[in-house]
Amino acid sequence: MSKQEITLTPVATGGCCAPISDAALGEAGAVEGAAVFKALADPIRLRLFSMITSAGDEICVCDLTPQFEVSGPTISHHLKVLRAAGLVDCERRGTWVYYWPVPEKLRWVAGLLAVPESAPSR
């Protein structure tokens, strides 16, 4: 048999299970997603975020601040972090700033937590 006639058949290597799914998050997506989760990884920010999403439409910062025992500037800082992560947006009208959630971003983030229908429950 000449060298030219040798054929190599690919074999499964290095694992005992199914290969990593193409559906798994890539490196760039993971960096973006981790940044969003970091914004939510603080109890005050998560409560602020929850108040904003459950307000129905939008909510005035004047209704958010009194719910916490921290200062107004601290609340402003946390709101800025949520906004920088793309989770909420806001608009100043006169004295007050109004906040609302960004549904597209929330859907994307929630999608990262989705378990495929095919996954068996234990």
Count the helices and strands in the chain (H runs, E runs): 5, 3
Count of residues interacting with a second copy (CB under 8 A): 63
Residue 27 sits at the vertex; the CA angle it makes with 109 and 23, to the nearest 5 degrees, is 65
Which residues in 15-34 contact a second copy (CB under 8 A)?
A: 15-21, 23-27, 30-31, 33-34
Listed ranges 1-9, 13-21, 73-81: which one lies at the site for a second copy (CB under 8 A): 13-21
Alpha helix stretches (DSSP H) within the chain: 27-40, 43-53, 61-64, 72-84, 103-112
For residue 74, the minimal CB distance to a second copy (Å) is 15
For residue 9, the minimal CB distance to a second copy (Å) is 21
Residue 100 sits at the vertex; the CA angle it makes with 94 and 101, to the nearest 5 degrees, is 160
Give dist(CA 116, CA 1) in Å, integer. Answer: 49
For residue 61, the minimal CB distance to a second copy (Å) is 10
Instruction: Establish how many alpha carbons lie within 13 A of residue 43's alpha carbon, considering only the half-sphere containing its beta carbon.
Output: 4
Q: Does 38 bind a second copy (CB under 8 A)?
A: yes
For a second copy, the binding residues (CB under 8 A) are 14-21, 23-27, 30-31, 33-35, 37-38, 40-47, 50-51, 53-60, 62-64, 66-67, 89, 96, 98, 100-101, 103, 106-107, 109-110, 112-116, 118-122
